Amino acid sequence: MSDPKRVAILISGRGSNMKALIEQARGYEVVLVASNKVHAPGLDTARALGVPTFAFEAKRDEFEAALERSLADHKIGTIALAGYMRILSAAFIGRWRGRILNIHPSLLPRHKGLDTHNRVLAAGETVSGCTVHLVSEELDSGDVIAQTEVPVESGDDASRLAARVLEAEHYLYPKALSEFVRR
């Protein structure tokens, strides 16, 4: 088995959580950033931070096969999903069971999936937050590794709440990943 401290981050977009994971790395090293979008802005950020990148747009099975080769070439032990917007296959998850983390912008098990901030507001909740969890075959349902709460403030709309939750994610995810790879 590869060293769990050798981390690959999967992204699909701008990569703000990816950037936080790279810049705040303690006890782990981000050795690859991979994307299913060849023009994901986060790839440029990763390159600017000196991290090798892999990008390939293809059907899921083709992408995962190419990704597996890249992960093996880089001797990856842990995968961190950071704004990766494609559901991984059960076969891929099975091969990496217990070694894939994700960050989700709600206090799981509440508000799985997309549009979490609007759903928090619509439910009249006073607290939201974010969760780092292990990835399982069921969407946003793996074991919780860490959570942090973010208060819902009077006058919040989805974008204001999202900005505060994202700030919390940038603190929580690197800390949780650091603790995870050391266990």
Domain coordinates in residue numbering, the chain = 6-181
**Rg of the chain in Å (alpha carbons):** 16
Strand partners, 11: 35
Q: What percent of the chain has pLDDT over 70?
A: 99
Q: 39, 104, 117, 170: which is the annotated catalytic residue? A: 104
| Token pair in block for residue 178 | 């650091």
pLDDT at 5 over 90: yes
Average pLDDT, the chain: 97
User: Is residue 16 marked as binding?
Assistant: yes
Mean pLDDT of 21-33: 98
Q: Please check whether the domain covering 6-181 is classified as CATH 3.40.50.170.
A: yes
pLDDT confidence of residue 126: 98
Contact, 57 vs 18, CB < 8 A? no
- Per-residue pLDDT reduced to its tens digit, 58-88: 999 999 999 999 999 999 999 999 999 999 9
- 14: three-class secondary structure by DSSP: coil
pLDDT confidence of residue 2: 83
User: Is residue 6 marked as binding?
Assistant: no
User: Is residue 26 marked as binding?
Assistant: no
pLDDT confidence of residue 1: 58
pLDDT at 137 over 70: yes
Q: What φ, ψ does residue 178 adopt, rounded to 5°?
A: -60, -45
CA gap 110, 140 in Å, rounded? 10
CA gap 23, 49 in Å, rounded? 8
Apex 79 CA angle, 173 and 137, nearest 5: 100
User: Is residue 85 marked as binding?
Assistant: yes
Q: Environment class of residue 136 by beta-carbon count within 10 Å: exposed (0-12), middle (13-18) or buried (19+)?
A: middle
Respond yes or no: is residue 133 known to be catalytic: no
pLDDT confidence of residue 120: 98
